[in-house]
Amino acid sequence: MKFLTGLLAAVLLFAGMGASHAVVRIADDRGGRIGTYVDKYQDLRQSGETVIIDGLCASACTIVLGAIPHDRICVTSHATLGFHAAWDFGSNGRAITNPEATQMLYAMYPSQVKRWIGQRGGLTPRMLFLRGKQLEAMYKPCYLDAQASTAKPSRRSLPKADQLETARGQLLH
């Protein structure tokens, strides 16, 4: 009996590995250094994983829009993208706009996002927020019934306990 249950669990586990894919959820990312995000999203692009934007994705986080294929990004009703000019610390310790880095950042965005930013005066020190219907018109909606993590992405989805119990019950009858 235990052998059959174990065998069934193994079969369901391996069947589930091919049928689903992992997702990465962005929920509260205020950004950081551009280079760090470029590296992070290159790895994510190569992984083939889907990105769910389900909260704030601001500053360098928005590089995800240019690094990940459009069809692998979805947004929830909570998604908010925040755009601004790139900056460095000046000699006096204050933030100063970096025009070259700002241009590089802008160049990474898809054309529809560039158009939206341009219609609002471009990338400046002032934060521009893209959310709601305007964002949903650019990216497909996603639903949080997908398995997602804000930490490490899951590489496979495991059968739920109730699915295993149902399958076990069918095996015994």
Closest-CA residue to 85 (of 76, 77, 97, 94): 97
Across the chain, mean pLDDT equals 78
Count each helix (H run) and each strand (E run) in the chain, helices first.
7, 8
Helix, strand or coil, per DSSP, at residue 57: strand
Model confidence pLDDT, tens digit, residues 66-115: 999 999 999 999 999 999 999 998 888 898 999 999 999 999 999 999 99
What pLDDT band is residue 154 in, cutting at 50, 70 and 90? very low
Mean pLDDT of 131-157: 66
Mean pLDDT of 7-18: 34
- The span from the CA of 74 to the CA of 68, in Å, is 11
Compute how many other C-beta atoms are within 10 angstroms of the C-beta atom of residue 31: 19
Identify whether the C-beta of residue 167 lies closer than 8 Å to the C-beta of residue 8. yes
**pLDDT at 21 (0 to 100):** 63
**pLDDT at 99 (0 to 100):** 94
CA torsion through residues 94, 107, 43, 83, sign: positive
- The span from the CA of 65 to the CA of 67, in Å, is 6
Which two tokens mark 82? 């925040």
Compute how many other C-beta atoms are within 10 angstroms of the C-beta atom of residue 17: 13
**pLDDT at 100 (0 to 100):** 95
